[in-house]
Structures are given as C-alpha cells and as structure tokens.
C-alpha cells in the first residue's frame, strides 16, 4: 500500500458527488491527502453520501483558492489530460506515470492534478507539471468521469507502490513550484534588462516555451540555485558603478 505522500488535487470540481466518490476511490487505494481548488459545492451532503465510508478522508480534505496553494511543498507534479496538448509537454501512459510518481514521492511529496468535469485543466493549471498523464481509452470517446479517472490513476499508484524501491540517485530534491516560479520571475527580469524579447506577433510564446523545457528538465533545488546565481551575476555585471543591487 502507498506509504509515500501523494496528493490528489481536484481543480474546480463542480459536482459534490464526484468529490465523495473520489474520496472513496482514494481510501480504496490507501491514499490520504485530498486538496480541492475552488470547489463549487463543498462541504455537501451528496459528497458525504458518495464517500460511503471514506468520511474521515473527506473531513480532512483541504480547500484552497489556487493551484499554487494546492501544490505547496510538492516536488514532482503530474497532470491528467484527455485532450491533445502542445507537443512540448512530456506525456506518459498512466501506468508509467504511476511508477514515476511513487518513486518521486519517496523523496518528497508528489501531486496529481485533475481538472473540472466539463473543461479539464486549463493551460495555466498545467504550468507546474513535469509530465501529463494519458489514460488509454476509446479514441471515439476519450472523456472519463472525474471519479472514474481518479480511480484508475490511484489503482495504478497502488500497484506501483508494491514494486521494489529503486535507489534515489538525485543529490537534492526537485525544486518546488514556488521555487520554480521565483526562478521564472528572476529570468523574466533579466530578459527584460538585457532586451531579450519575444519577437513573435503576439509576444507571449517565448516564456511559455522556456517554462516547458525547464519543467521537462526537472530541476532540483541546487540546480535552481545555480541558475539564479548566474542570473544575479549577469545583473551585477550590468549594474552601473554605485547603482542599486538587483532586488534593492
């Protein structure tokens, strides 16, 4: 049974019954941490009824106002999708993804994001994700009920947790979403200072591409510190003598 901290995050769930069914699915598969981002109706009697014995897990569920808050303290992050996305995302089959999530959760907390019933996850919700999870299904009807999708993913997590533990070769934990956001903000600042701009017509694609390839790189905390140290050095070299230091 899973002993590593794996967080199930539901983003803007609209049906309280699905929240209860998710809690039941999680308890079936020995997962304990449920976080709800802006649920439409919660707490709710239908959620409690559908939890069917997983009331304790439902009672512990945290409600937050943003995906960033839901992911606080996490390292590895996976997001589910049934839609074709930009090719710059790494996409894994649910079984392969589960093995990776379980392995990463043994180092630091991991999270799996699920989107709203009708719309799924927005592109901005995917920004912190290292991988996308694809659940194989009939190509003529790919849409899964939210609780069903959670049940399938948590089942694979349960199976993966029974496999032998591989040694962790990483020298430091993965950078958290908050550390990555600080890196992106620092990078954007330096790009502005050196006049490295997006030359496309919309002027919005460059930073998105940079985010994608850095998320695929799966930077650890030491690597983020190295990059931020480099960015600070660039800023210091550009600072006029006697001028303010970056961040002053």
More confident site: 9 or 209: 9
**Nearest residue to 131 via CA among 101, 99, 89:** 89
d(CA 230, CA 228): 5
Residue 41: pLDDT band (50, 70, 90) is very high
What is the number of residues in the chain?
Answer: 248
> Over the chain, what is the mean pLDDT?
90
89-103, 110-124, 155-169: the lowest-pLDDT one: 155-169
- What predicted TM-score, i.e. pTM, was given to this entire model? 0.85
Q: Can you give the residue ranges of every domain in the chain?
A: 6-161, 177-238
Q: What pLDDT, on a 0 to 100 scale, did the predictor assign at position 202?
A: 63
CATH number of the structural domain 177-238:
1.10.8.590
Q: Which fold has domain 6-161?
A: Alpha/beta knot (3.40.1280)
Contacts of 199 by beta carbon, 8 Å cutoff, 6+ apart: none
Range list of β-strands (E), 33-160: 33-37, 62-64, 77-80, 91-93, 110-114, 131-134
d(CA 131, CA 94): 11
Averaged pLDDT for residues 182-211: 87
Percent of residues in the chain assigned helix, strand, coil, to nearest 5: 45, 15, 40
Q: Which two tokens stand for residue 85?
A: 């996305």
* pLDDT tens-digit series, residues 172-182: 889 999 999 99
Averaged pLDDT for residues 37-66: 96
Q: Which two tokens stand for residue 81?
A: 């999708």
Contacts of 30 by beta carbon, 8 Å cutoff, 6+ apart: 1, 2, 158, 161
* pLDDT tens-digit series, residues 139-168: 888 788 999 999 999 999 999 998 876 666
Q: What pLDDT, on a 0 to 100 scale, did the predictor assign at position 158?
A: 96
More confident site: 245 or 54: 54
């Amino acid at each position: 049974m899973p002993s590593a901290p794996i967080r199930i995050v539901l983003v803007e769930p609209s049906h309280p019954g699905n929240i209860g069914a998710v809690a039941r699915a999680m308890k079936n598969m020995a997962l304990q941490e449920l976080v709800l981002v802006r649920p439409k109706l919660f707490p709710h009697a239908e959620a409690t009824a559908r939890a069917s014995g997983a009331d304790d897990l439902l009672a512990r569920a945290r409600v937050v106002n943003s995906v960033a808050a839901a992911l606080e303290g996490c390292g590895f992050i996976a997001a589910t999708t049934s839609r074709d996305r930009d090719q710059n995302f790494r996409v894994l089959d649910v079984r392969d993804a589960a093995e990776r999530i379980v392995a990463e959760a043994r180092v630091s907390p991991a999270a799996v994001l699920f989107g709203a019933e009708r719309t799924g996850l927005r592109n901005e919700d995917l920004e912190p994700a290292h991988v996308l999870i694809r659940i194989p299904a009939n190509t003529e009807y790919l849409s899964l009920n939210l609780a069903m999708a959670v049940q399938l993913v948590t089942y694979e997590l349960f199976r993966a947790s029974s496999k032998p533990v591989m040694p962790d070769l990483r020298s430091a934990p993965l950078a958290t979403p908050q550390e990555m956001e600080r890196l992106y903000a620092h990078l954007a600042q330096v790009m502005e200072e050196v006049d490295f701009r997006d030359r496309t017509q919309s002027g919005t694609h460059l930073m998105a591409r940079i985010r994608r390839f850095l998320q695929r790189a799966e930077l650890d905390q030491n690597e983020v510190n190295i990059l931020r140290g480099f960015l600070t050095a660039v800023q210091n070299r550009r600072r006029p003598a006697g001028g303010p230091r970056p961040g002053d």
